[in-house]
Chains A and B, each alone.
Chain A
Amino acid sequence: MKNTTEKLKKLKSIQPDAQYSQISKMAILTTPLAAEENASFSSKLAGNITEILKKLRLIEPNPEYARVSRIAILGAPVIAEKRNFFNWQLAFTLASLLLVLISGNLIRNLKPTAPNLNAQALQTELSDMNIDIQLAKIDYSQNIDETVSLALKEITNKQTDHLNPIILQSEQTKLNTEPADNQNIDNLLNQILL
């Protein structure tokens, strides 16, 4: 009998598994509580939120990870500084230079490069020339008209004066005495052509 009681007493040493009790306790405590308790818990939690957030600072990286990572980082070859193929300073200088050239060119285009090529002067010159040409043309036409009418008159004249050898002779002499390079004609031609 005594033995039995001793044996029963020994049963008291039976303990639940430590891990099991921890998990079980966690599960019980995380189970939703009664409504009132819950409300008070949530309001307490919300009220203490800044304090709880501060506790998150307890989170630390695993020391072994930190050690290995540190060694790996410091042992990693440092990538040579990337050569900047695009040199901003140079690009800016070139762009400025280009801008200056373009604007200079534009300004130059606005001004006449040579006074002789001034568009307005050329226009005036051209219109003047047209007038001169027209006047010269009128003058020429008048002369031609007179000559033609005289010739026609002579042809249509029933008198045969025009066949008079003396007259013909004098006309021929007159024609021959006229210089081959008539200055007036040359001037007129030059005005038209130039």
Chain B
Amino acid sequence: MKEEETIKKAKNRDPEAFGSLYDQHLPAIYRFILLKIGDKSTSEDIAHQVFLNAWQNIENYQSQGFPFSSWLYRIAHNAIIDYYRTDKKHADLESAEELATNDNLEEKIDQGLELNIVKAALKELPDEQQNIIIMKFVEELSNKEIAAALGKNEGAIKTAQHRSLKNIKKIIDEKYNRKTKKA
């Protein structure tokens, strides 16, 4: 079934249709929240709230040529802003226990190490650059989708991508070299 059709059904309060949208979009929205919040249980709570809001307000969704995911990212983005506004205390990123299991322990460790460094660097970026990195390089959304989700124009997103990538590389480099000097 096409997503448009599913959305139409969900708008008519078809739980099965919304359930299908939930299954399809939960992983990406959850990842987006987890990478920004860092705490698993808080991310689960926020993701739940995002989908609950989406279900209760789906009548307000208007496609206008943008995918449903852009709308969900927008809700998630606002929910994260609310979270940081109300709860200043937040835990660091948890170990990559959510990572798909890999039988090779060494690979798993290497992967975990790399990912932890990248995740830590990601958290040091300004909010908007974090959003762009996650949406573009983790979720591989198009510039149009990112622009719709963040309420920006495509040109601004393109420019911000290069800047964000450059910044995260710089952070990794500086962090790692600083560690070496201390050692």
A and B held together in a complex = yes
Contact B183 A32 (CB under 8 A): yes
Q: Say yes or no for B156: interface residue by CB 8 A criterion.
A: no
Q: Is chain A's binding surface mostly helix, strand, loop or mixed?
A: helix
B26–A66 contact, CB under 8 A?
yes
Contact in complex: A61, B22 (CB < 8 Å) = no
Residue of B nearest to A21 (CB): B105
**Chain B, 97-115, CB within 8 A of any chain A CB:** 98-100, 105, 109-115
Total residues of chain B contacting the partner, CB 8 A:
52
Asked whether A61 and B172 contact (CB < 8 A) given A54-B137, A76-B52, the answer is: no
- The residues in B between 71 and 102 inclusive whose CB is less than 8 angstroms from any CB of A are 96, 98-100
User: Is B7 interfacial (CB 8 A cutoff)?
Assistant: no
How many Å lie between the Cα of A115 and that of B138 in the bound state? 80
Contacts between the two chains (Cβ within 8 Å), count: 127
Q: Determine whether B123 belongs to the interface, using a CB cutoff of 8 Å to chain A.
A: no
- Closest chain A residue, CB of each to CB of B33: A61
Complex-state Cα separation, A131 to B180, whole angstroms: 108
Specify which chain B residues have a CB less than 8 angstroms from the CB of A39 in the assembled complex. Answer: 176-177, 180
- Find residues 51-71 in chain A having any chain B CB closer than 8 Å to their own CB: 52-62, 65-66, 69-70
A residues bordering B, Cβ < 8 Å?
A: 22, 25-26, 29-30, 32-35, 38-39, 41-43, 45-46, 49-50, 52-62, 65-66, 69-70, 72-74, 76, 78-79, 81
Question: Could you list some 5 contacts between A and B, CB below 8 A?
Answer: A54-B140, A59-B35, A61-B26, A61-B98, A70-B26
List chain B positions with a Cβ less than 8 A from chain A: 13, 15, 18-19, 22-23, 26-27, 30-31, 34-35, 44, 47-48, 51-52, 55-56, 59, 96, 98-100, 105, 109-115, 117-119, 133-134, 137-140, 165, 168-169, 172-173, 176-177, 179-180, 182-183
